Amino acid sequence: MRAIVVSEPGDSSALAYREQPDPTPGPGQVAVAIAAAGVNFVDVYQREGRYPLPLPFVPGSEAAGTVVEVGPGVDDLTVGDRVAWGDAIGSYAERAVVPAAKAVRLPEGVDPETAAAVMLQGMTAHYLTTDTYAVQPGDDVLVHAAAGGMGLLLTQLAKLRGARVIGTVSSDEKEKLAREAGADDVLRYDGFAAAVRDLTGGAGVHVAYDGVGLATYEGSFASLRRRGMLALYGAASGAVPPINPMILRDTGSTFLTRPMLAHYIATREEMLGRAGDLFGWIASGALKVRISRRYPLAEAAQAHDDLESRRTTGKLLLIP
């Protein structure tokens, strides 16, 4: 099979397109012929070595495809099942072996490309809006990068829960997409904290969902209302430096959390519940998944360059 392999951490040139042996499932695993793999910032962090993995490795945590082989001890998946996952490394490949406990069977009405586009980011948006901060009707919510893959999903899920969404974007084109996803107000990054205060009558937002990081976190704190929460779930613009906890006092006894998906799908039941909600909303038309670009697997480096440039909107997929 062909796969993308990282032998040493580095820039996108570290993504080498190579012939690899077909992986064989062990106990509790399934082998899947991949139809599409999602491209995410966590893949960039792992490629750079910011989130170290044993070398060499095949990157990619999110994909969908068809089960082609079942390992010993797997009794709830069979050959021919369409499955997807959002937390199993090795997805930038024509074939991957994944733990059966992390594979979700796709229902009718959800195609593999849509599933590959929503498993990691969709379940992240789900936990952020239902558990990290449980959005309530009438809440004011700030969503950064509102036209990106995560931002579009966060905006829609916050709106489903009855929130008023204020989004930040970098261009008129992205503003249009954010508004189509349901954002009530859309701002540019320059001076966004003061604009958020104006839009909320000086009070600030109940929660800021910030996956941008270094370039926005100070403004995110300044956008919070008293006892508001900053959910810092990513660092697309760079890592946030160590924070003096006094900033929480000075911004109104605010809360800061740095969540990760694995802690919110720690049990199979929790994972199936989140995925089931997403698939149900997709099938009903309540949740729209925007796939903006599809790349051949061999062009993974270009996909990373495009993602890191922050010129893209919606989801990027690799197609083996």
State residue 314's pLDDT score.
Answer: 87
Closest to 218 measured CA to CA, from 186, 256, 183: 256
Domain ranges for the chain: 2-119+265-319, 137-258
State residue 109's pLDDT score.
Answer: 86
State residue 211's pLDDT score.
Answer: 96
CATH code at 2-119+265-319:
3.90.180.10
CB–CB of 68/31 below 8 Å? yes
CATH entry 3.60.15.10 includes domain 137-258: no
State residue 38's pLDDT score.
Answer: 97
Q: Please tell me the distance from the alpha carbon of residue 52 to that of residue 297, in angstroms, as a whole number.
A: 23
CB–CB of 107/279 below 8 Å? yes
4 CB-contact burial (10 Å; exposed 0-12 / middle 13-18 / buried 19+): buried
Show pLDDT as tens, one digit a residue, over the chain (320 residues): 999 999 999 999 999 999 999 999 999 999 999 999 999 999 999 999 999 999 999 999 999 999 999 999 999 999 999 999 999 999 999 999 999 999 999 998 899 999 999 999 999 999 999 999 999 999 999 999 999 999 999 999 999 999 999 999 999 999 999 999 999 999 999 999 999 999 999 999 999 999 999 999 999 999 999 999 999 999 989 999 999 999 999 999 999 999 999 999 999 999 999 999 999 999 999 999 999 999 999 999 999 999 998 778 889 999 99
State residue 261's pLDDT score.
Answer: 95
Closest to 62 measured CA to CA, from 284, 265, 270, 209: 265
